[in-house]
């Protein structure tokens, strides 16, 4: 068989890299569960009519088809999900009678998206989502809660004693604020949607280009375009943005509501701000998807702004409805693959060893392998991950085998002793009671600047 050619956009991690991903997922799960979020997993496929409800996504959806066309009838019209929000909305509708509302869930799964692969963008990738969904109503304080939970999770990932990722900037805005401002400028529904869509391009185009698009495509006046762009330049780490918006002289009831909600959220998140994790009211953030109705989130990774938003979401009041009952929700999604694969590929993240084994049990001879197996069994019963040497080579070769695998200790059954092969220190020990130091018991996440202790959160 010829050597296979890698598929672009479908990243695969080596064992040491996979450990980093698992530690990040475990850290997120611990944080989410501390706040009462239950874990769910949804199926990988959804009906195409459901997948295409989210806007212009038809070019991104992978359609599922059986190889034998004549037998594909039951599989026709389904595709792989491209995010976790659409399947979650369907999950809520199907299980509403069995769920207690407000329903809080977190979900970590693969998704598939047929876009051009590039740094941070893949065709198959992992997302981590949290959402809170209500029945008919969902108070605004849940928007605040979701922001606080994700800010706490990001802080744990960035803490030097945890994963040690670069810092994060959680950018927040409110669609009510934007829509109310545009209404106060005299724009109607269609024009508001178009202006919002074009202003959302400011992270890709400069101000002059967006201004030209506003005049040419949205049909606004020069004064309206200039005020819309001025609004988008406002940023603040506290509620001072309210006065800046008021100074623009635009008034509407919806604007007042949006300003109040955004100010409340920023103030509530202030106690969670750290040197590595910050929250910013950024009035350029709109999110391109039309189902967002209030709070919107985007997140940038310090030093990696070229990746765009690695964590985004917002409030949606009508995404899920069965015609009688509406299930409003608010959620935020962290692009794990976008975040981690880039850092791993640049050599910023790995782990101290590629195997969980703390001890390699040496084999003196093949006839004595059962003695080595007995030692390994006792170590495992004592909670110590270990493996038995693959062959009875000279001890020097077995030690080198352990070194190559990153295993810190070698056990010699014939001597009843264990050796730290890093320091050369060797002592008598009982496998039924011996414990490795805490820092050796599991692999450690290693960053380009420092080592952390096994991804434990502070």
Domain boundaries in the chain?
A: 15-39+113-350, 359-435
pLDDT of residue 55: 55
**By the 8 A CB rule, do 387 and 357 touch?**
yes
- Closest residue by Cα to residue 341 from 307, 314, 316: 307
pLDDT of residue 5: 86
* Whole-angstrom distance, CA of residue 358 vs CA of residue 83: 38
Residues 169-195: b if buried by 16+ CB within 10 A, e if exposed: bbbbbbbbbbbbbbbbbebeeebbebb
Joined tokens for residue 31: 């944080």
pLDDT of residue 316: 93
Q: Is 4 left (phi over 0), alpha (psi -120 to 50) or beta?
A: beta
> Would you give per-residue pLDDT tens digits along the chain (458 residues)?
678 888 899 999 999 999 999 999 999 999 999 999 999 999 999 998 888 865 556 678 898 887 776 655 555 689 999 999 989 999 999 999 999 999 999 999 999 998 888 888 899 999 999 999 999 999 999 999 999 999 999 999 999 888 999 999 999 999 999 999 999 999 987 888 889 888 888 878 889 999 999 999 888 899 999 999 999 999 999 999 999 999 999 999 999 999 999 999 999 999 999 999 999 999 999 876 567 899 999 999 999 988 889 999 999 998 788 889 999 999 999 999 999 999 999 999 999 999 999 999 999 999 999 999 999 999 999 999 999 999 999 999 999 999 999 999 999 999 999 999 999 999 999 999 999 999 999 999 998 764 444 444 33
Which listed CATH number (3.40.50.800, 3.40.50.2020, 3.40.50.2000, 3.50.50.60) goes with 359-435? 3.40.50.800
pLDDT of residue 22: 96
Query: Angle, to 10 degrees, between the axis of helix 253-269 and the axis of helix 141-158?
Result: 40
pLDDT of residue 451: 43
pLDDT of residue 452: 45
pLDDT of residue 121: 87
- For the 15-39+113-350 domain, the top CATH level (class) is alpha beta
């Amino acid at each position: 068989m010829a050597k296979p050619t890698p598929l672009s956009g479908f990243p695969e991690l080596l064992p040491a890299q996979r450990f980093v991903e698992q530690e990040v997922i475990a850290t997120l799960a611990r944080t989410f569960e501390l706040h009462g979020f239950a874990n769910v997993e949804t199926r990988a496929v959804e009906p195409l009519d459901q997948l295409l409800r989210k806007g212009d996504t038809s070019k991104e959806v992978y359609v599922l088809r059986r190889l034998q066309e004549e037998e594909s009838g039951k599989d026709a019209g389904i595709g792989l999900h491209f995010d976790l929000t659409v399947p979650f909305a369907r999950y809520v509708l199907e299980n509403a009678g069995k769920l207690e509302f407000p329903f809080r869930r977190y979900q970590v799964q693969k998704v598939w998206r047929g876009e051009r692969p590039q740094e941070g963008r893949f065709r198959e990738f992992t997302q981590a989502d949290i959402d809170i969904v209500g029945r008919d109503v969902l108070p605004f304080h849940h928007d605040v809660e979701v922001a606080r939970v994700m800010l706490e999770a990001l802080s744990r990932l960035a803490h030097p004693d945890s994963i040690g990722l670069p810092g994060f900037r959680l950018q927040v805005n409110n669609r009510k604020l934007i829509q109310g401002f545009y209404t106060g400028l005299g724009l109607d529904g269609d024009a508001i949607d178009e202006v919002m869509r074009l202003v959302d391009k400011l992270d890709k185009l400069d101000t002059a280009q967006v201004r030209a698009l506003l005049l040419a495509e949205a049909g606004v006046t020069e004064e309206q375009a200039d005020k819309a762009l001025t609004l988008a330049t406002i940023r603040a780490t506290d509620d001072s943005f309210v006065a800046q918006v008021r100074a623009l002289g635009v008034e509407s009831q919806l604007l007042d509501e949006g300003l109040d909600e955004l100010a409340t959220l920023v103030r509530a998140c202030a106690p969670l701000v750290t040197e590595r994790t910050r929250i910013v009211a950024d009035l350029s953030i709109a999110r391109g998807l039309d189902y967002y109705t209030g709070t919107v989130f985007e997140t940038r990774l310090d030093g990696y702004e070229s990746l765009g938003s690695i964590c985004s979401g917002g409030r949606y009041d009508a995404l899920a409805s069965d015609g009688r009952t509406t299930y409003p929700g608010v959620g935020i999604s962290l692009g794990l693959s976008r975040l981690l694969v880039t850092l791993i590929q640049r050599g910023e993240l790995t782990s101290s060893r590629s195997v969980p084994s703390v001890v390699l049990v040496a084999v003196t001879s093949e006839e004595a392998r059962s003695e080595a197996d007995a030692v390994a069994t006792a170590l495992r019963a004592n909670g110590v991950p270990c493996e038995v040497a693959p062959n009875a080579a000279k001890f020097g070769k077995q030690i080198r085998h352990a070194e190559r695998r990153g295993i810190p200790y070698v056990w010699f059954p014939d001597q009843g002793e264990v050796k730290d092969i890093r320091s050369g220190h060797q002592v008598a020990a009982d496998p039924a009671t011996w414990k490795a130091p805490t820092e050796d018991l599991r692999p450690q996440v290693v960053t380009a600047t420092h080592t952390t202790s096994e991804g434990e959160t502070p």
